[in-house]
């Protein structure tokens, strides 16, 4: 299926992430899914910055996004050059639910239809039909 929208944004640090997310939602004409997209991208960009880029504002985080008429696709690419073995938790215990760390991937998985890691990228798919 042909991509109707295919764009890329690059961030250095997280200072502009709110503005980038607003641009993504506007580009995708997905205001109806604003909460889901904001949660997914906030967690994904934060993880890329903190874990993939070790909190270094000089390293880029690329956000590639597209919409093919049915699926929103996001690819968050950190500057991490070391292969990581990352698992997405299937559940989170009540005691950890409000912790500041450890729940991001679980939240992304809960909001998306598919989440996977490839090299230094987190690939997220959400069906909006």
Domain with 89, as residue range(s), is: 5-127
pLDDT value at residue 97: 55
Judge whether residue 99 has pLDDT over 60. Answer: no
pLDDT value at residue 10: 97
**Residue labelled with tokens 């909001």:** 111
pTM of the entire predicted model: 0.86
Looking at the chain, which runs of residues are DSSP E strands?
5-12, 60-67, 71-77, 114-118, 121-127
Is 15 strand, coil or helix? coil
Judge whether residue 11 has pLDDT over 80. Answer: yes
Assign residue 44 the CATH number of its domain.
Answer: 3.30.565.10
N- to C-terminal Cα distance for the chain?
Answer: 15
Comparing 19 with 93, the larger pLDDT belongs to: 19
How far apart are the C-alpha atoms of 46 and 24, rounded to whole Å? 16
Structure confidence by residue, pLDDT tens digits, 36-79: 999 999 999 999 999 899 999 999 999 999 999 899 999 999 99
Q: Residue 61 in contact with residue 39, Cβ under 8 Å? A: no
How far apart are the C-alpha atoms of 101 and 20, rounded to whole Å? 23
- State how many domains the chain has: 1
pLDDT-based confidence at residue 103 (cuts at 50, 70, 90): confident
73 DSSP β-pair partners: 66, 125
pLDDT value at residue 1: 44
């Amino acid at each position: 299926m042909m991509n109707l929208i295919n764009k890329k944004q690059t961030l250095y640090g997280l200072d502009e992430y709110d503005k980038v997310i607003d641009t993504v939602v506007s580009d995708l004409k997905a205001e109806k899914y604003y909460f889901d997209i904001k949660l997914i991208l906030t967690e994904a960009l934060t993880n890329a910055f903190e874990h993939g880029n070790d909190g270094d504002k000089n390293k880029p985080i690329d956000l590639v996004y597209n919409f093919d008429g049915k699926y929103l696709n996001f690819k968050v690419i950190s500057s991490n050059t070391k292969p990581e073995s990352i698992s997405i938790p299937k559940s989170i215990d009540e005691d950890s639910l409000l912790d500041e760390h450890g729940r991001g991937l679980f939240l992304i998985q809960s909001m998306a239809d598919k989440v996977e890691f490839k090299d230094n990228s987190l690939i997220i798919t959400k069906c909006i039909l």
